[in-house]
Chain A
Amino acid sequence: MTDQINPAPRQDNQDPALFGQTPSQTVGPFFHYGLPWKGGADLVGQSDMGARPELFPEDHYVLNLAPPKGAVGGETITLEGVVYDADGKPVSDAMIEIWQANAAGRYASPDDPRTDIPLDESFIGFGRASTSDEGLYRFRTVLPGVVPGPGNGLQAPHIAVGVFGRGLIKRLVTRVYFEDQAANQTDPILALAPAERRDTLIARKVGDAWRFDIVLQGERETVFFDI
């Protein structure tokens, strides 16, 4: 029943009838002074990787300052690539996040119950990188170890990836695998990707870096996951 004099108030965030997951919204184009901190893309050393402080005045930098880290165990790698849109144009206002295990295959998380596998005090395994004007992101991290999969299986070394940006209403999720790993052949998650698109999940060694381009749409569109 509609009360013509006092229409029912609109539902809002505090309405118990609406309780449920808060909807996702885009980060928009202007996130650089709010999210990607100096060193966010450097998981093993002390640098400014990941931030774009040139996009706003210096006295408005209130994000974290590249925190120092101790020596990190494992093989240090560079992971980089370009984010492309459907027209093959680089996406200059995207942000990439990664999450991975350490070199021994342990996640720095209270929800990884495997205390027999060592944590690395200097390594968290979470990183964040803005893309450049050329659409390029770059992380410095370590090659992750093997981690358990569904059932009693194992997963090949991989890095979980989240993609944000202007025009992305919600995060897109994918994974980076590494082309030289024999365990890719038996990885249970890779096996779920259509065979003809599986190679979009596999980084290739180009020079000293692992190259992993992310194609949001179109030919060679990256496989994205529903998790």
Chain B
Amino acid sequence: MTDLIGFSREDAGQPPSLAPAYGSTVSRSPRQPLVRIPQTLTELTGPAGCWGNLMGAALADLTTQHKAMPQGQRIIVAGRVLDEQGRPVPNTVMEIWQANAAGRYIHGKDQWDAPHDPNFTGAGRVITDAEGRYQFVTVRPGAYPWGNHKNAWRPAHIHLSLLGPAFATRLVTQMYFPDDPLIEIDPIANAVPLPYRQRMVSRFDIETTQPNWALGYLFDVVLRGREATPFEDDHHD
């Protein structure tokens, strides 16, 4: 067998599966310890580059999917997908979904009484270039209430889903906005310990902002990276 180069394991910034303040985790997180296994060819491979046959072509402008412009503040989200060594992750797909400007999802089970926007679906996908760069256009999502606890409100966020090069690098996260007071009191964001929680807070950027058009936000996504040395025989304790 050819030498395989493994990916680093979770770092200290990853949340636990059980975060009791986020009520749904209590009955949906395992109680038995995870069984640590060596990374085999199964975990070290993935459908890299096959996104076109899976998720489909890029759809990078969420404001032009319908007859007219959606309501809300138009924004540009841009950044890079990198690994932990700072190397770009090229030609990988990032799937995007979010609520509309009023905080309402185009989903039958979202019962919050805020208006739908017929001109906004809130789903798209982008592909990173050779330097790992991506960019998409959307509207800033609204905050919305949820039933987790009394007067619970989710901070504005955009859901991001990435495959990366391997089964081991799969990531789903949420991007938050700077200076949102709801982040401090959100059990989902706070499942991630400080300071790592702040990795999920985008930065307003005047260079990305386009005059007379849209505000710009920067958000890099960092996936698990390949370790420096190959292992041939894995006897991880």
Binding site for B on A (CB under 8 A): 10-15, 18-35, 37, 40, 54-57, 59-60, 62-65, 67, 85-87, 89, 91, 93, 97, 99-101, 107-114, 124-126, 128, 147-152, 155, 158, 160, 162, 164-172, 175, 188-189, 192-194, 197, 216-218, 221-227
Contact = CB atoms under 8 A, between A and B. Distances in A.
Given A111-B166, A151-B233, A99 B47 contact: yes
Chief secondary structure at chain A's binding surface: loop
Contacts of B172: 24-27, 164, 171
A151 B233 CA distance: 4
Interface of B: 1-2, 9-11, 13-17, 19, 22-32, 34-50, 53-56, 59, 65-66, 79, 84, 86, 95-97, 99, 105-110, 121-124, 159, 161, 165-168, 170-175, 178-179, 188-189, 191-192, 195-203, 218-224, 232-235
Nearest to A94: B28
Contact of A25 (B32, B41, B188): B188
Contacts of B96: 34
Contact of A13 (B40, B159, B166, B200): B200
B200 A125 contact: no
8 contacts: A21-B14, A22-B220, A23-B173, A23-B192, A27-B172, A62-B123, A167-B22, A172-B30
Given A124-B53, A160-B167, A218 B31 contact: yes
Contact of A167 (B24, B32, B53, B95): B24
Contacts of B218: 13-14
Name the 9 nearest CB pairs between A and B, nearest first.
A34-B97, A167-B24, A64-B56, A109-B45, A167-B28, A226-B34, A86-B27, A126-B47, A107-B45
A172 B27 CA distance: 14
A22 B219 CA distance: 10
A183 B59 CA distance: 44
Q: Is the interface of B mostly helix, strand, loop or mixed?
A: loop
Contacts of A55: 107-109
